[in-house]
Chain A
Amino acid sequence: MSQVLKIKKVRSNVEKRRLAGVSVTTLLSVLSLLFFGFLNPGKDKTTFGFVLNNEWVLIKEWVISSQTGSRIFSLVAVAASVAAALAFRKGARIVLPTGIATFGIFMAFITWVASGKFIPFTGLLQGSLLLAVPLIFGSMSGLICERSGVINIAIEGQLLASAFVSGVVASLTHQSAWGLLAAPFAGASISLLLATFAIKFSVDQVILGFVINVFVIGFTSFLYKKLLVPYQASWNTAPTFSQLEIPLLSKIPIIGPIFFSQSVVVYLMFIIVGVITFALFKTKWGLRTRAIGEHPTAADTVGIDVNKLRFRNVVIAGLVAGIGGAYYTVGSVGAFGNEMTAGAGFIALAALIFGKWSPMGAVFAALLFGFADNLQSTLTIIGVGIPSEFMLMVPYIATIIAVTGLVGRVRAPAADGIPYRRGGAN
């Protein structure tokens, strides 16, 4: 018996990763407490502004000494880390406590960095959601493709092409609704290109996606300079959707202004995420889609036309990304700007990977990236002494930390990126 006990416990890879997660959050919590709370505390008071209602005049201010605030939030983080450690020992889920700890560290940092400043907290969250909207649409597009076994690096191209088309259509028709309707078709045509070359002609999908992006960036820039700049008055003055307030729900303090006082594109996003989640896990289509992404040969054996379903799914993914593209023009600023998606498609891809190819995971990852991005611009606006260039790096550094540290080795759908040929190797 004692012999057995002496054998060193072998940890599986999953356990190692969980342990790493717990250790890192604990370390960061303690560092946050030490640094923000004691060694280098903020000297002034931090003011948080909350919009309680959708009328902006009703602002509730919450003033706290920067030092005390940082200590409180850091302590919350430390406590949550301890809870995470206990949960790890019991073998329970650690997502919630580590999530709370991360939130605590973030808040401690904000309270520390904004010492003597005003943080529009509701605006911060609202802006985060808005920045996450195209990321979420993009990652849903990637999700549908990759769950069915086609790698989609062309999300950027899908977003940019549909942003362009929706902007132009809305300008020419003077109707934002037509722009929104046209956008999915633009996304789908990029998808057709992807699907044809990836599925019919078995082109390497990562290379293909990259080339499609180059093509779309070049083509939209060309048309932008040739058409949209010289004929701006008629071609690039897209009207935007006004905010649509949902009765009653929009009156809820804090949550109301963030979630229920948005443009129609944002509501579409809520619906589409829900539909995709349901369809992927509860319907025949979803089961088949996951089957062709994991084991196409088996799916073929039971009579599923693998390549036909893949083709269809890639096109559907283009439709979804298209709405995300429309968000850039008719959903927010109206006019199309050259290369206006600015790499959002790649962040969406990172969100998909960070979210481990699950709809909810991708949504939360996208929200996190949106938050990092918006925190950056908020802190730049209030001026916190960190050079703005470094603040601008934050979302990208966050992505790197996310794909390396927090998720570790994630597993993509097994047949992702492998063209299916009957009697082939897989």
Chain B
Amino acid sequence: MRKALSKFGQAIKLPGLSFFMAFTITGLIIAVSDAKVLAKFSSPFDFITSALASVGNAYLALFQGSVFDVNLIKDGSFFQGFYPLSETIVTATPLILTGLSVALAFKSGLFNIGAQGQFIFGAIGASYVGFNFELPIGIHILAAALTGAIFAAIWGGIVGILKARTGAHEVILTIMMNYIAAYFILWVLKTQAFLRPGRIDPIAPEVNENARLPLLAGPSFRLNFGIFIALAAALFVWWLLTKTTIGFKFRAVGANSQAAKTAGISVPFVITSTMMICGALAGLGGAVQVLGSEYALNTDIAGSFGFDAITVALLGRAQPLGTVFAALLFGALQAGGRTMQSNTGVPLDIVQVTQALIVLFIAAPAFVRYIFKIKKMNASAALTSKGWNG
């Protein structure tokens, strides 16, 4: 028991210390940028207490916006207080899917920055099928989600084919594809096919009732079936990577593409199929966002789900389960950050800083050891990407 505990302690030491440092630095930034705190600069005691109060309020709002808020309990409904938690899950759902997209690519040795563009194509596909057809319940959801996934798989597959055939680096390719997708959705929303009748602003019609993912906790919560799709996708990625031949090939190429080639694995095939599956995963994220919570395609549908996915996958060490937890955490930060912004006036962008810091420290175990003067610390092999020649 004791041994197990110490093992557990070892395992969470790096993430724990990384979180601690990230939230400390974030707190410093919040305190120092608060005008009320700076006004008390002349007296050290007041300065410190007001700084602590400022940070405390911000972090309290972060918690209230992501887990539980007493103020929301109305008419004796204790359950309503968990509305923030449901928002966390709703925000985390697309993050899980895009995070899995990036994570799976990492396993094949690819750095997929293109989840954003793939997400957009998934959302476009799902939205079009969602509002344009009348299909029976169940089938409609399936058709819409599949269309989204296929659109995005093609979009991701283009990168795979280009890389496999020409050797161009996927980081550059996916970044450019993201920009192209971002402009593409702006154009699509102006076309006749996507224009909502009676509206001139770029917003598509809402998807039909039959195409909407069922709500799980009643109409006052946005919590929907999408979270189960995301968890199933995580299970699928785990199964694919550990139980199938193709997953073995992915990991072999990811570990050492030269050796994999020598062993007779077709590297171009692995690159292309990885990118297609990654695309499908991120596209499913876009589909879930449209069918589960937004219903109507709009210019900002993708938010930064595709970019946050990279930090999610890095934090989750590219493991399916780790990615789920990381997505839930970042979903909480996003949902809480919105409340923090409206309650305490701390811009939501600070969440991005926190996320970057967490991932930075997690990626640098040597740095954490150096700061805390730790001699030995268990850190599983750091994630690596391939340089330009890789």
User: Does A pair with B?
Assistant: yes
Q: Is A56 interfacial (CB-CB < 8 Å)?
A: no
Q: Say whether B370 contacts A417, CB under 8 Å.
A: no
Q: Which residues of A contact B179 (CB under 8 A)?
A: 343, 393, 396
Q: Which residues of A contact B167 (CB under 8 A)?
A: 408-409
Q: Is A353 interfacial (CB-CB < 8 Å)?
A: yes
Q: Say whether B172 contacts A393, CB under 8 Å.
A: no
Q: Is A23 interfacial (CB-CB < 8 Å)?
A: no
Interface centre among B176, B310, B389 (most CB of A within 10 A): B176
Q: Is B171 interfacial (CB-CB < 8 Å)?
A: yes
Provide the bound-state CA to CA distance between A417 and B169, in Å. 14
Among A203, A212, A397, A405, point to the contact of B166 (Cβ < 8 A): A405
B interface residues with partner A (beta carbon < 8 Å) = 29, 33, 111, 113, 162, 165-169, 171-173, 175-177, 179-180, 183-184, 186-187, 190, 307, 310-311, 314, 346-347, 349-353, 355-357, 359-360, 363-364, 366-367, 370, 382-389
Give 8 closest A-B pairs by Cβ, nearest first: A218-B352, A417-B387, A412-B388, A215-B356, A389-B187, A221-B349, A206-B385, A225-B347
Provide the bound-state CA to CA distance between A389 and B299, in Å. 13
Q: Say whether B383 contacts A207, CB under 8 Å.
A: yes
A interface residues with partner B (beta carbon < 8 Å) = 146, 151, 153, 197, 200-208, 210-212, 214-215, 217-219, 221-223, 225-227, 343, 346, 349-350, 353, 387, 389-390, 392-393, 396-397, 399-400, 403-405, 408-412, 414, 416-418
Residue of B nearest to A197 (CB): B364
Residue of A nearest to B113 (CB): A210
Q: Say whether B388 contacts A417, CB under 8 Å.
A: yes
Given contacts A387-B190, A412-B387, 20 further A-B contacts (CB under 8 A): A201-B370, A202-B366, A204-B363, A204-B383, A204-B385, A210-B111, A211-B314, A222-B33, A222-B352, A226-B33, A346-B176, A350-B172, A353-B388, A396-B176, A400-B176, A403-B169, A403-B173, A405-B166, A411-B389, A416-B387
Q: Say whether A392 contacts B183, CB under 8 Å.
A: yes
A197-B360 in contact given A225-B347, A350-B172 (Cβ < 8 Å): yes
Q: Say whether B176 contacts A227, CB under 8 Å.
A: no
Q: Say whether B357 contacts A215, CB under 8 Å.
A: yes
Provide the bound-state CA to CA distance between A353 and B173, in Å. 12
Provide the bound-state CA to CA distance between A411 and B349, in Å. 38
Provide the bound-state CA to CA distance between A392 and B172, in Å. 18
Q: Which residues of A contact B385 (CB under 8 A)?
A: 204, 206-207
Q: Say whether B166 contacts A409, CB under 8 Å.
A: yes
B255 to chain A, nearest CB (A): 15
Q: Which residues of A contact B162 (CB under 8 A)?
A: 400, 404
A389-B173 in contact given A206-B387, A403-B168 (Cβ < 8 Å): no
A153-B363 in contact given A218-B353, A414-B389 (Cβ < 8 Å): no
Chain B interface SS verdict (over half): helix
Q: Which residues of B contact A212 (CB under 8 A)?
A: 356, 360
Q: Which residues of A contact B352 (CB under 8 A)?
A: 214-215, 217-218, 221-222
Among B33, B184, B190, B360, point to the contact of A215 (Cβ < 8 A): B360
Provide the bound-state CA to CA distance between A421 and B367, in Å. 16
B104 to chain A, nearest CB (A): 16
Among A202, A215, A404, A412, point to the contact of B389 (Cβ < 8 A): A412
B70 to chain A, nearest CB (A): 28
Q: Say whether B387 contacts A389, CB under 8 Å.
A: no
A27 to chain B, nearest CB (A): 17
Q: Say whether A222 contacts B172, CB under 8 Å.
A: no
A11 to chain B, nearest CB (A): 17
B305 to chain A, nearest CB (A): 14
Q: Say whether A201 contacts B366, CB under 8 Å.
A: yes
Interface centre among B33, B172, B359, B366 (most CB of A within 10 A): B172
Q: Say whether A393 contacts B183, CB under 8 Å.
A: yes
B353 to chain A, nearest CB (A): 4
Q: Say whether A208 contacts B360, CB under 8 Å.
A: yes
Q: Say whether A223 contacts B172, CB under 8 Å.
A: no
Q: Which residues of A contact B307 (CB under 8 A)?
A: 214
Residue of A nearest to B370 (CB): A201
Provide the bound-state CA to CA distance between A203 and B350, in Å. 24
Provide the bound-state CA to CA distance between A241 and B363, in Å. 41
Q: Which residues of A contact B190 (CB under 8 A)?
A: 387, 389
Q: Which residues of A contact B355 (CB under 8 A)?
A: 214, 218
B120 to chain A, nearest CB (A): 13
Q: Which residues of A contact B169 (CB under 8 A)?
A: 353, 403
Q: Say whether A222 contacts B349, CB under 8 Å.
A: yes
Provide the bound-state CA to CA distance between A211 and B383, in Å. 13
Q: Say whether A151 contacts B388, CB under 8 Å.
A: yes
Q: List 10 A-B contacts (CB under 8 A).
A: A211-B363, A215-B360, A218-B349, A218-B353, A219-B353, A350-B172, A396-B179, A403-B172, A404-B166, A404-B168
Interface centre among A146, A225, A411, A414 (most CB of B within 10 A): A225
Provide the bound-state CA to CA distance between A214 and B29, in Å. 16
Q: Which residues of A contact B33 (CB under 8 A)?
A: 222-223, 226-227
Provide the bound-state CA to CA distance between A202 and B350, in Å. 27
Among A208, A405, A412, point to the contact of B363 (Cβ < 8 A): A208
